[in-house]
Amino acid sequence: MLSSDACDELLQLRTELAVARDLAEKAQANALNAEAARVRAINSDLLARNAHFEWMNEKMRRDKYGASSERSRRLIDQLELTFEELEADAAEAERLGAIASAKATMVTAFTCVRSTRRDFDPGLPREQVVIPAPDLCPCCGSADLSHLPADITETLEKVPARHKVIQTVREKVSCRRCEKTSQPPAPFHVTPRGMFGPHFLASLIFQKYGLDQPLNSQCDGLESVGISLSNCVQALRYSVLFLTMALSVMRSFRMVATIASLKGLPASRSRLVVAARRPLPQRAMVSAAR
């Protein structure tokens, strides 16, 4: 025999199951009614469209061939009345379908989703600016404080580019015995006379060909930070042209060597020299000199 509590719980479960079944049946019936109302609305709309097309067809036929008889005029009037009735029926069916759909549709409550802030790339360097906590409690003035986990706010910042002039000092000595002077050789420079460094020229070339920024605009930007290049713009253009030609020669070098290795032929020095001495197209030279 079951206890009284178990019997009460069983009766409650049966009641809840019956209520759930009743709700499911009502929801299914509402869905079927909504679907039927939607189909009736579509059917009424199609009938109204068909009547409208028939009326327009008969009217255009009468306009083209003339009023041949009284029957055609009455037919047009009858089709127009039929179209108006069907249009009213379609509007009523659409209204009933919307009501049925509203009954069958379960509307969930709106929940506000709080957007989460995306973190920056962990590979970026971090610089911590620590704001120290007070030594005394601002409320009571007590010095017995305990440290809690700090709040960290990350802000993306850009460090402006720094320009510097590298002075290469080559010491010169003179021999007292033979009166000859000696000096260490000059280091390698990317361009003749070493007026511009490799990183500076690489930045100019990238902005010119990668970002489509002319040299004149770049010179104006450098002048805004105190670097005047108005007297050496022509030298800068020739430096960019020289590096562009050197890059094309290196690319031809590598292309000939790659083709020779794929064909299994020895990449002779004469072929490489001929490929390297091949002149650049005039268009590339003009675009590099701008």
pLDDT tens, 138-173? 888 888 888 888 888 888 888 887 888 888 898 999
Name which residue leads in pLDDT, 249 or 54: 54
Percent of the chain with pLDDT over 90: 3
Do the beta carbons of residue 122 and residue 154 sit within 8 Å? no
Of 69-78, 110-119, 267-276, the range with the lowest mean pLDDT is 267-276
Measure the CA dihedral 38/40/46/49, to 10°: -100
- How far is the C-alpha of 30 from the C-alpha of 211, rounded, in Å? 62
Do the beta carbons of residue 41 and residue 100 sit within 8 Å? no
The per-residue pLDDT for 34 is 79
Task: Give the list of residues 6+ apart from residue 54 with CB closer than 8 angstroms, or none.
Answer: 79
- The average confidence (pLDDT) of the chain is 72
Name which residue leads in pLDDT, 247 or 186: 186
Measure the CA dihedral 274/275/276/279, to 10°: 90
The per-residue pLDDT for 172 is 92
Q: Which residue has the tokens 């600016």?
A: 129
pLDDT average, residue stretch 41-59: 76
| pLDDT-derived band at 285, boundaries 50, 70, 90 | very low
Name which residue leads in pLDDT, 181 or 3: 181
Side chain identity at 109, as an amino acid letter? A
- How far is the C-alpha of 92 from the C-alpha of 62, rounded, in Å? 32
Do the beta carbons of residue 103 and residue 34 sit within 8 Å? yes
- How far is the C-alpha of 230 from the C-alpha of 224, rounded, in Å? 12
The per-residue pLDDT for 280 is 43
Q: Cβ–Cβ contacts within 10 Å for residue 219, how many?
A: 18
In tens, the pLDDT along 96-120 reads 667 666 665 554 444 555 555 667 8
In tens, the pLDDT along 199-233 reads 888 888 788 878 888 878 888 888 887 887 766 66
Q: What are phi and psi of 68, to 5 degrees?
A: -80, -25
Q: What are phi and psi of 265, to 5 degrees?
A: -105, 150
Specify the pTM: 0.39
- Asked whether residue 54 carries a pLDDT value surpassing 70, the answer given is yes
- Asked whether residue 281 carries a pLDDT value surpassing 50, the answer given is no
